[in-house]
Amino acid sequence: MKNTLSIRLLALLLLPASCFGQDAAKPLSDAPSYEAAHGTTEGSSLIGQEAVDPPSASGAVDPTLAQPAPPIRAGFGFGYKFHYYLTETYFNPSALTAPAFRAGLRMANPPGKGGTQFPPEWRRGSEAFGRNYGDAFAERVSFQTARFVTGAITREDPRYAPSSSHNVLARSLHALSFTLVDRSDSGHPMPAFSNFVGAAAGGFVGNAYLPSGFNNVTHAGQRATLRFGFTASGNLFREFAPEMPGPLRNFIMLIAR
C-alpha cells in the first residue's frame, strides 16, 4: 500500500515538470522564428551600411572637389586701391629715401645753364636741400594721388601684371606697353588713363612753388614727360625684379620707388 502511494505521489510531481518542459520547447505561435528575425536584422544592417559606407573606388570623389571653393574677389575695389595708394605713397621706406636721393642729384646737377640756372637758394646749403626734397616729395604725392583718383573713377587696376613670356624682349615690350595700356578692375585691357593724369599732376605741381623760369608750361610738360618715363622704367623694374639679386633690388626700391 505504501509503495503504491509513493509511486502515485512521484507521478504527480513529475507530470507538471514534463508538461512545462514540453511547453518551453514548443515555439510560440506569435513569436518570429530565428531565421526571420536574423534575416530582418541582417537586412536592416545592410541598409544602414549602405547609408554610411563610402562610395567604391570606381565612383571615388576627389576630396578637393568636395571642399567649398574660396570666394572670388570681383575686381580690385576702392578699399584695395586706397590701401595700395597709401602703401605706395607713404607707408614704405622709399617715401623718405627716394626724395632725398632726387634732391641730392638735383643739387649736384642743377637744371638750367648760365642765367637760366637754378638760383643759389635752390643749389647750395641745407635750405636748398630742403626745397628740393620738398619738390621731389610733392611730385611723388601728386603723381600717386592723381593715379589713385583717376583709377577709382575709371575702374582701373593700379597694379602691374607681369608677362607670361620667358623671352626677355617680349617681357620688355610688355612692360613698356603696360605704361600705355594696363588692366581694368575686371582684368580687361584698357587705356592707362591714370598714368597720363598722374604724370601731368606730378609735372605741373611744381608751378606753384618753383623759382621763376621753371614754373611755366614748358618746364611742367618736360617734368610730366620725365615722370611718365619713370613710370615705364618702374614697369621694367617690376617685370625683372624677381630675378634680381636681393641687395640690388632693395637698393633700387629705396632710391627710385
36 belongs to a structural domain: no
Q: What total of structural domains would you count in the chain?
A: 1
Amino acid (1-letter code) at residue 41: T
204 belongs to a structural domain: yes
Residue reference for cell 578692375: 185
249 belongs to a structural domain: yes
The answer to whether the Cα torsion of 218, 226, 158, 179 is positive or negative is positive
Which alpha helices (H) appear in 109-186, and where do they start and end?
125-154, 168-177
Measured CA to CA in angstroms, residue 131 lies from 32, 106, 143, 211 at distances of: 104, 11, 18, 11
156 belongs to a structural domain: yes
Torsion of CA 117, 123, 129, 134, to 10 degrees: -20
220 belongs to a structural domain: yes
Structural domain boundaries, residue 227: 78-161+193-231+245-256
236 belongs to a structural domain: no
150 belongs to a structural domain: yes
Can you tell me the distance from the alpha carbon of 121 to that of 218, in angstroms, rounded to the nearest whole number? 22
Closest CA to 155 of 191, 185, 194, 196: 185
**How high is the pLDDT of residue 2?**
43
**How high is the pLDDT of residue 75?**
64
Measured CA to CA in angstroms, residue 90 lies from 22, 85, 94 at distances of: 101, 8, 8
Average pLDDT score over the chain: 80
Asked if residue 144 lies in contact with residue 136, where contact means CB atoms within 8 angstroms, the answer is: no
131 belongs to a structural domain: yes
List the pLDDT tens digit at each of the 257 positions of the chain: 444 434 444 444 444 444 444 444 444 444 444 344 444 444 444 334 444 444 444 443 343 333 343 343 456 789 999 999 999 999 999 999 999 999 999 999 998 887 778 899 999 999 999 999 999 999 999 999 999 999 999 999 999 999 999 999 999 999 999 999 999 999 999 999 999 999 999 999 999 999 999 999 999 999 999 999 999 999 999 999 999 999 999 999 999 98
Residue reference for cell 574660396: 70
